[in-house]
Structure 1
Amino acid sequence: MLSSLVSGALPVALLAFSGAAEAAYSIDTREDIITTASTLAFDLMKFYDGNQTGKIPGILPGPPDSGIGDYYWWQGGAMMGTYVDYWYYTGDDSYNAVVTEGMLHQTGDDRDYMPRNHTLSLGNDDQGFWGMTAMLAAENKFPNPPPEKAQWLALAQAVWTTQADPIRHDKTCGGGMRWQVPPTNVGYDYKNTISNGCFFNIGARLARYTGNDTYARYAEETWDWLWAVNYIDHESWR
């Protein structure tokens, strides 16, 4: 009897939950979309403590093997990008100061998203996520930092320049960029889609933004390499 009651009640409960969620996260009108985005932005920020006293701006608690939290350095960059888009599409600047602080704090001494405390574990994909967020900030005209600080376009260009360095590429497998930056890292001799995809992404967008053909040439070469080694499916283009 109990099992039949549970089996009958569960779909009703799930339906009720689904209805509540649908009501809470409506996207029927522009106002609904902004309200839903605002709610999600508020909830997402609960995972971030970089704006609290004694914490590190720009990163989420982690990495996993530290016992501090579940997140890696690159995920902080991806999160900052989410809020750049949030501001752009909603006009809500509530999180702009937090985002600017976080993005600047992680640039490193050379302003290229290679901070000293992450250099030894740095992957090209990790750096690439921060570079893509800086590129997004430039494209979206996210308010630039004060003139004495690094500007968004310059940060994206700096990431691209470090990744275009021949030391990060070789002729193994016909070319391509390595996954890891330090030669001592496991995976230094591995070439993956995400690292090369980030490099392609930043280069293509810089080419469009600046009109500089050098960025376009590197982006085309990276695409051609990804295609040649079948990292891009020739049927689905995925």
Structure 2
Amino acid sequence: MKRIAYLGLFFLMAANVQAAEYNASLFGCKSDGVTNNTSSIQYAIDFISGKGGGTLHFYVGRYLTGSFELKSNVTIELHEGAVILASPNVYDYLNYSGSRALIYANGQSNIKIQGKGVIQGQVPLFTANMENLTSKGIVRKDSQHLLPDLIRIENSEQVTVDGIMLLNGLENVQSYIGCRQLSLSNQIIKSNAYGSSTGIFLSACSAVELRSLYVDASGKPLREEGKNEIRLQENCVTPNGKKL
């Protein structure tokens, strides 16, 4: 009986570790739309990853941030009314091998972004800041590589983005390069504020599943490069009712 009890306690403790839940506010994240939360969000993700994984919850409010990296076994849960707000300052974005992104991951596994919240770019402010820097000769006119994606995941597996609304991306709203077991579902993507914004960019991805996606982008709703293995594509449409 004692052995059974110990086994039960062990599995209960293991389940609690797997299901660790954390409120973003506990790490100093502010939902006022003004405070830059980049370092607080990154610290929270690093902490949760170091503990073996868990979920970082964002509740009602606007969380301004620059680039942060998602780590293995970490889930970002955006509750209804929560907005991850992209910084309009180009210097708030890290350079990842020539590309920039708001949310980035490379070589990670079991990562998720889910919920009923919003990830939102600030295209008019960002482009105005870029034009100002260009006019002063600080940034070159051909600095397209400085435009950040809202989400960019590379060389990762078991990647899930579910239920999120993505607004006002720049070059690409979402980019996935060399990913395996990629699931994108129940998303609304609206990105018309920048001239040639791609809704979803896939390159050399395998075991891809696309479900219930509405993509309204000024550029291509879905752009592919190289060989991609899309196992499932259902109920994925553009504003005119055409399939992706």
Q: What TM-score results when the alignment is normalised by the length of structure 2?
A: 0.32
* Structure having the larger proportion of residues in strand: 2
Larger radius of gyration: 1
* Structure having the larger proportion of residues in helix: 1
Q: What TM-score results when the alignment is normalised by the length of structure 1?
A: 0.32
